[in-house]
Amino acid sequence: MRISGIEIEKVNDNLWEIPKFGGMLVPGRIYTSEKMLEGTLQNDEALKQVVNVAHLPGIQKYSLAMPDIHWGYGFPIGGVAATDINNGVISPGGVGYDINCGVRLARTSLNFESIKNRIQKLVENLFNDIPTGVGASGAIKKLNAAEIKKILRDGAEWAVSNGFGSKHDIELTEENGKLKDADPEAVSPRAIERGMDQAGTLGSGNHFLEIDFVEEIFDENAAEIFGLFKGQIVIQIHTGSRGLGYQVCDDYLKVLVQAEKKYGFKLPDKQLACAPIKSTEGQNYLHAMRAAANFAWNNRQVIMHLARNSFKRTLSISDAELEFELIYDVCHNIAKIEEHEIDGEVKKVCVHRKGATRAFPPGSKFIPEKYRSVGQPVLIPGDMGRYSYIAVGTEKAMRETFGSSCHGAGRVQSRHQALKEAKGRNLVEELTKKGIVIQAKGYKTIAEEMPHAYKDVSEVVEVMHHAGISTKVAKLKPAGVIKG
Q: Which residues pair with 203 in a beta bridge?
A: none
Helices 280-315 and 145-154 meet at what angle, rounded to 10? 100
Identify the H or E element spanning 129. Answer: helix 119-129
The H or E element containing residue 216 is strand 208-217
Fill in the DSSP letter of residue 162.
Answer: T
Catalytic residue among 55, 207, 332, 407: 407
Distance CA 6, CA 420 (A): 30
Total residues found in the chain within this entry: 484
Tell me how far apart the alpha carbons of residues 163 and 170 are, in angstroms, rounded to a whole number.
Answer: 13
From first CA to last CA, the distance across the chain in angstroms is 41
Residue 365: partners with Cβ closer than 8 Å, 6 or more residues away = none
Cα–Cα–Cα angle for 33, 453, 248, rounded to 5 degrees: 95
DSSP classification of residue 411: B
Encode burial over 188-226: b for 16+ CB neighbours within 10 A, e otherwise: eeebbebbbbbbbbbbbbbbbbbbbbbbebebeebbebb
Q: Does the annotation count 407 as an active-site position?
A: yes
Contacts of 65 (CB under 8 A, 6+ apart): 28, 29, 30, 31, 32, 46, 47, 50, 76, 78, 79, 80
Q: Which residues are catalytic?
A: 407
